[in-house]
Amino acid sequence: MRFHSLLGFKLKSLRDKTESLKLGSAIVLFDRDFGESFFQDFRGYGNLLDDAEWLLERTSQRSWGFMIRPVIDGERYGLWIGEYAPHNNQIVREEIIFDRSSSSISKLLFNYADHKISERKLSKKLALDTCKKKLKKSKIIQDFKHYICPIERFYKDCPHIERIYKIIKEKYGLGAKIRYSLVAEIIASIKPCEDVILCPLFSSPNTFERIISLNKALRSRKLGEIKIIDRNMVEIT
* 106, 181: one domain: no
Residue 140 has pLDDT above 60, yes or no: yes
> What's the pLDDT score for residue 136?
94
Tally of structural domains, the chain: 2
* 15, 119: one domain: yes
Of 104, 125, 144, which residue sits at a domain end? 144
Domain region containing 74: 3-144
Residue 148 has pLDDT above 60, yes or no: yes
* 40, 109: one domain: yes
* 124, 30: one domain: yes
Residue 3 has pLDDT above 50, yes or no: no
User: What is the overall mean pLDDT for the chain?
Assistant: 87
Q: Are strands 196-198 and 146-148 parallel, antiparallel or unpaired?
A: parallel
Of 144, 166, 201, which residue sits at a domain end? 144
Q: Which residues of 188-205 are buried (b: 16+ CB within 10 A; e: fewer)?
A: eebeebeebeebbbebee
- Residue range 28-81, pLDDT digits in tens: 999 988 888 999 988 888 889 999 999 998 887 668 899 999 999 999 999 999
Coil, helix or strand at residue 201: coil
Split at pLDDT 50, 70, 90, the class of 160 is very high
- Residue range 161-206, pLDDT digits in tens: 999 999 999 999 999 999 999 999 999 998 888 888 889 998 888 8
Partners of 92 in beta bridges: none
* 125, 157: one domain: no
Secondary structure string (H, E, C) spanning 135-170: CCCCHHHHHCCEEECCHHHHHHCCHHHHHHHHHHHH
* 86, 172: one domain: no
Q: Which of 34, 150, 135, 16 is nearest to 81 (CA)?
A: 135
Q: Which range (55-59, 105-109, 114-118, 130-134) has the least confidence? A: 55-59
* 117, 207: one domain: no
| Cα 103 to Cα 123: distance, rounded to the nearest angstrom | 17
- Quick one: how far is CA 21 from the chain centroid? 27
* 155, 140: one domain: no
pTM, 2 dp: 0.73
* 132, 169: one domain: no
* 32, 135: one domain: yes
* 108, 159: one domain: no
Q: Which of 63, 3, 6, 76 is nearest to 29 (CA)?
A: 63
| Cα 80 to Cα 100: distance, rounded to the nearest angstrom | 14
* 155, 134: one domain: no
Of 125, 144, 163, which residue sits at a domain end? 144
| Cα 22 to Cα 210: distance, rounded to the nearest angstrom | 50
